[in-house]
Amino acid sequence: MTRTTPPSPRMPPATNRLSRRMLGNAVVWRSAARCCAIAVALIGILQPAARADTERYAVITGGKKVGTLTAETAAGGQVRVSYDVKDNGRGPTVTETIRVEPDGRPSAWSIAGTTTFGSKVSERFTRKGAHAEWLDSTGKGASDEAEPGAGQASPPEARIYVAQSASPWSDGLYARALLKSAGLRMGALPDGTLALTRGESFVVGPGDGAGGAAAGGAAPLRVTRYELSGIQLTPETLLLDERDELFAVVDPSTVIVRAGYEGEERRLRGLAAEWSTARFVNIEHEVAHRYPGAVRIRNVRLFDPRTSALTQPVAVLVAGRQIAAIEPLTSPATPGEVAIDGAGGTLIPGMVDMHSHLAQDEALLDVLAGVTTVRDMGNDNAVLEALMARIETGQIGGPRVIRSGFIEGRSPFSANNGILVGSEAEALDAVRWYGARGFWQIKIYNSMNPAWVPAMAGEAHRLGMRVAGHIPAFSTTDRMIDAGYDEITHINQFMLGWVIGPDEDTRTLFRLTALKRFGGIDLQSDKVQRTIRSMVDRHIAIDPTLGIHEMLTLNRDGEIPPGAVDFFSHMPIGWRRDALKALIDTAAPGDDQAYRAAFDKILATTRLLHDRGVFIVFGTDTGGSFTYHRELELYQRAGMTPAEILKRASFDSMRYLGIDQRLGSIEKGKLADFFLVPGDPTQDLRAIKRVRLVVKDGTFYYPAEVYPKFGIQPFAPRPEVVVPAP
């Protein structure tokens, strides 16, 4: 589960669910094939590893060690865990004390520290006999279960506590308890059910990953893959050794691996990519409907972005990947058609999340939410390329991807993906690398030397790419506009120069905690008006990511986040528990109101930009899908109408990206790329949250069929579909 923060502002550009869990995000939920085994000759020399009193792990993301985890086991089953990660200037720090009973379940668990973005952690759990109590950010909870019968080690309906803010070491704890349970399943506290699925066993070696000797005497050993499900939207992948001790927690971009075996990191990420891909290939096979012949969707109204209104009821015909016709309702069907009853609902062109860090386990969820295109704003380039290939060839479901080339300067606070550079020459080489591979734009990040940006922007423009990004530390929005930016990334980055001094460092969490100063901004002041005037005069766009800022400033411990109210109850227990944790610390006097005032000023600034004609693109930076729906809602508070928002999310965004000839509206000859919702979203924008059908490049998906595979309760029923007999 996301043990250090809820689904949240990402840590660009890491790209997977483990990164999000461990590092606070993004990109932090994302894979080329790797070797699958160590030479068979090693097997004969394997020695079972004795249980160590101290287990040490390295946290590696983007090929760089960014943290450590240590678990010290004392007599009597008490374990002390220390976990610390720092990447991109931020990360969680927690300590845990856990007493583990013979049945594998914890009887006492205390967790203290801070989350990725600085909010405090103080969690406790105790179980005495059949009675369990806990205290976390949601408040107090308690549960009673039946006493075990004679000869039973645990109660017949035993449940295991799933911690809210634990380190990844807890995955191993849950797995060992499930291995002792019937059917590898167990009820969870406060809610839900955990399940463990056993995978293959294979040999890992120290050193270079090929079985060579390593410092410290680490020896080759056999590990077994397990999938732990029931906590988050997708299973956690972990490896246990022959004594069922945790060896690693893995996904395609981040690995937490036992010390001495860091050389296996690349191989394990490759295997994680293969396992994840196999899961999503199977899901695609089960839920993607590619109908032969024609499909007639009857009794629907279309959102027409050219008029920003709904049409009269019509029938839409799809053949292959394209929209074959739009016909009056009275038009007769032709033999062999698949018939879908739209029940008077609305078809909306596929939408664009303009700020994604796409991960494989997010890809299909984006599509199910009507987000059929994403602009990736920074990723592991090889991982993203492989993911795009799987989507484009139909192996897995996902949105089409417009790529941004992430370029970061080298510093102690660097993000660890894309391309890191240490000189202007290296920065220009990075721009050319992206240009030669067809990237749409470059994205500049926090540690970039601002003096290099004019040359980078000039080279990007020469190669036909746009330039977007954060405002590099020790620079300002005005300077980056002068340097050649075409778009500013994040509203806080845009506004920070109005409230901070020239020597204050925005490569750290300060770029978020400084939001406390936003409430005092005078939007009519000369410096504010000068910046906005430059945006207008030079036609600079902005990607505000309002939803992130709502999470940062308004999420509070124990409260359903404002942006999650409409879908919170549909999500798995681990997701819900994570979402009830604040991202930032608001304990200091005045901080709560200061952050609330900051979001009000962010909305007022966004409204001012919109009123002045600045082009606003809608992006999330939080994984898209459900948070994208919230992102759109927030622009109503910035003065836009539902119709304006739907047009901007679809046709306007496709035109901005230069692909509106084939996408962005529902017209004969364009790609079949749209989704069905009940009601009229031009009157009630919340209607877009009840998606009944999505068509992406002529492939039909019914969210009610797919969401249960992610542990999500569907939001709307599947439409009536009649497939003719063969």
Residue 341 lies in a domain: no
The answer on 162 and 32 residing in a single domain is yes
pLDDT for residue 156: 53
Residue 362 lies in a domain: yes
SS3 letters for 275-310?
HHHHHHHHHHHHHCECCCCEEEEEEEEEEECCCCEE
Please write the tens of the pLDDT for every residue from 418-465: 999 999 999 999 999 999 999 999 999 999 999 999 999 999 999 999
Residue 149 lies in a domain: yes
pLDDT at 101 over 70: yes
The answer on 363 and 260 residing in a single domain is no
Split at pLDDT 50, 70, 90, the class of 138 is confident
Split at pLDDT 50, 70, 90, the class of 168 is very high
**Alpha carbon of 652 to those of 34, 305, 450, 563: distances in Å?**
40, 8, 31, 24
Helix (H, G, I), strand (E, B) or coil at 135: strand
Please write the tens of the pLDDT for every residue from 275-290: 999 999 999 999 999 9
Residue 384 lies in a domain: yes
pTM for this prediction: 0.87
Among left, alpha and beta (phi > 0; psi -120 to 50; other), residue 613 is left
pLDDT at 149 over 80: no
- Residue 108 sits at φ, ψ, to 5 deg, of -150, 140
Mean predicted confidence (pLDDT) in 655-679: 98
The answer on 229 and 375 residing in a single domain is no
The answer on 399 and 266 residing in a single domain is no
The answer on 377 and 268 residing in a single domain is no
The answer on 393 and 267 residing in a single domain is no
The answer on 353 and 242 residing in a single domain is no
pLDDT at 596 over 90: yes
Please write the tens of the pLDDT for every residue from 366-391: 999 999 999 999 999 998 999 999 99
User: Which of the pair, 13 or 447, is modelled with greater confidence?
Assistant: 447
Domain residue limits at 156: 17-281
CA dist 341 and 331 (Å) reads 15
Per-residue tokens: 93: 């720090």
CA dist 124 and 110 (Å) reads 4
The answer on 657 and 516 residing in a single domain is yes
Residue 237 lies in a domain: yes
Residue 151 lies in a domain: yes
Please write the tens of the pLDDT for every residue from 187-197: 999 988 999 99
Domain containing residue 373: CATH number: 3.20.20.140
Using only the alpha carbons of the chain, give its radius of gyration: 26
Residue 4 lies in a domain: no
DSSP string, 17-43: HHHHHHHS-S-------------GGGG
The answer on 257 and 380 residing in a single domain is no
Last residue of a domain, one of 253, 281, 309: 281
Mean predicted confidence (pLDDT) in 112-132: 93
User: Which of the pair, 34 or 626, is modelled with greater confidence?
Assistant: 626
E strand or H helix at 551: helix 546-554
Cβ contacts of 504 within 8 Å, gap of 6 or more: 510, 514
pLDDT for residue 214: 41
Please write the tens of the pLDDT for every residue from 225-271: 999 999 889 999 999 999 999 999 998 889 999 999 999 999 999 99
Split at pLDDT 50, 70, 90, the class of 548 is very high
Virtual CA dihedral for 101, 107, 112, 114, nearest 10 degrees?
Answer: 80
Split at pLDDT 50, 70, 90, the class of 42 is very low
E strand or H helix at 674: strand 673-677
Mean predicted confidence (pLDDT) in 159-170: 95
Helices 381-392 and 360-368: crossing angle in degrees, nearest 10, is 50
Last residue of a domain, one of 281, 301, 331: 281
Amino acid, single-letter form, for residue 471? I
Amino acid, single-letter form, for residue 81? V
Nearest CA-CA partner of 307 in 695, 712, 651 = 651
Per-residue tokens: 590: 């005045």
Residue 32 lies in a domain: yes
pLDDT for residue 158: 87
Last residue of a domain, one of 235, 253, 281: 281
Q: How far, rounded to the nearest angstrom, does the alpha carbon of residue 67 sit from its chain's CA centroid?
A: 20
The answer on 356 and 276 residing in a single domain is no
Domain count, the chain: 2
Q: Are 46 and 221 in contact (CB under 8 A)?
A: yes
